[in-house]
């Protein structure tokens, strides 16, 4: 609830509000076709990412509907001609509108989480050829050991197997780190939405308390509404509480910073420096890095699995 927000959501006799526009329908697109052509693991992630997109759209639609309902309840209260109902329903509408805004904020935070899932998908897609190559090399080694145990080709194949395993370890490390990052964002967004909406609901209950529902017998006149100032203060309190809200959950620890500059554990490589950008999936290993909206649209389906420097290092070790 931003400062200087209007203390009323009563409509200005306008019926062309964006809240009344219908949500876009889901259609088959080229992105759907790309998902069908990906490796099995990437295909499963593609389906998850697409489903999350539909869910985010539903939250955005719910936000628009909630804001529209807030305006409607306020207009109805005004039409009753009852001062107390008119005042309370209008202020309830303000809180309902803010609850709708929180739904929209939640959808935006989910989009950040979804962008990290895309990074995992890209990593899985780019490393799949290396996994297939590793399985092929392993099979060739087993056959050669059976047919020609003394063959010099065994040394070459074993070197290729070590390189393939190194590539897979790099991809696995980044997948684990990005998965933690994704659901760190997701769970934090759920908690923020829940706590803020609970806060708003509690203030709404304070407003409802001001409405006198004492039965009036015929001939008597209901007392005038005397809680306008207190009702306005409830909105001020709600605004203040939202502004002062702070996350109450513990951060999720990450060991990604314990990786060396070549994306291997620092305890193994002797490198105590923090991790440099990874080339797996073309993404950064830093746990808090997110794509910009422009970068989200420019993500390619496949990227390099490993830098040349790391491959040369592995060859020197062999």
Confidence of residue 283 (pLDDT cuts 50, 70, 90): very low
**3-class DSSP assignment, residue 296:** helix
Q: Are 200 and 99 in contact (CB under 8 A)?
A: yes
**Which residues, 6 or more positions from 10, have their beta carbon under 8 angstroms from its beta carbon?**
71, 74, 75, 78, 90, 93
Q: Is 4 exposed, middle or buried (0-12, 13-18, 19+ CB in 10 A)?
A: exposed
What does the pLDDT average to over 250-254?
86
**What does the pLDDT read at residue 290?**
39
Q: What is the pLDDT of residues 71-127, one digit of tens each?
A: 999 999 999 989 999 999 999 999 999 999 999 999 999 999 999 999 999 888 888
Q: Is 250 exposed, middle or buried (0-12, 13-18, 19+ CB in 10 A)?
A: exposed
CB count within 10 Å of CB 221 equals: 6
**What does the pLDDT read at residue 165?**
87
Confidence of residue 60 (pLDDT cuts 50, 70, 90): very high
Q: Is the pLDDT of residue 64 over 80?
A: yes
Q: What is the pLDDT of residues 15-26, one digit of tens each?
A: 444 444 444 455
Window from 21-25, 49-53, 65-69 with minimum mean pLDDT? 21-25
Kindly report the pTM of this predicted structure. 0.67
């Amino acid at each position: 609830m931003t400062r200087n927000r209007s203390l009323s959501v009563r409509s200005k006799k306008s019926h062309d509000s964006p809240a009344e526009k219908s949500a876009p329908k889901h259609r088959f697109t080229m992105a759907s076709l790309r998902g069908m052509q990906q490796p099995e693991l990437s295909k499963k992630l593609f389906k998850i990412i697409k489903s999350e997109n539909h869910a985010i759209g539903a939250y955005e639609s719910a936000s628009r509907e909630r804001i529209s309902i807030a305006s409607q309840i306020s207009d109805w209260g005004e039409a009753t001609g009852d001062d107390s109902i008119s005042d309370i329903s209008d202020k309830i509408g303000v809180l309902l509108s803010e609850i709708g805004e929180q739904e929209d904020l939640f959808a935006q935070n989910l989009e950040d989480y979804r962008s990290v899932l895309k990074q995992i998908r890209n990593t899985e897609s780019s490393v799949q050829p290396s996994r297939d190559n590793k399985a092929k090399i392993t099979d060739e080694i087993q056959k050669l050991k059976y047919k020609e145990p003394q063959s010099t080709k065994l040394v070459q194949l074993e070197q290729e197997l070590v390189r393939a395993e190194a590539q897979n370890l790099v991809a696995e490390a980044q997948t684990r780190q990005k998965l933690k990052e994704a659901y760190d964002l997701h769970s934090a967004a759920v908690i923020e939405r829940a706590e803020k909406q609970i806060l708003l609901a509690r203030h709404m209950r304070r407003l409802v308390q001001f409405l006198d529902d004492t039965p009036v017998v015929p001939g008597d006149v209901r007392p005038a509404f005397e809680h306008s100032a207190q009702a306005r203060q409830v909105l001020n309190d709600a605004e203040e509480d939202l502004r002062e809200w702070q996350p109450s959950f513990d951060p999720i620890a990450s060991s990604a910073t314990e990786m060396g500059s070549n994306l291997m554990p620092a305890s193994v490589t002797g490198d105590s420096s923090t991790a440099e950008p990874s080339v797996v999936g073309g993404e950064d290993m830093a746990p808090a890095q997110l794509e910009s909206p422009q970068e989200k649209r420019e993500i390619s389906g496949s990227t390099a699995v490993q830098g040349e420097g790391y491959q040369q290092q592995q060859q020197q070790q062999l």
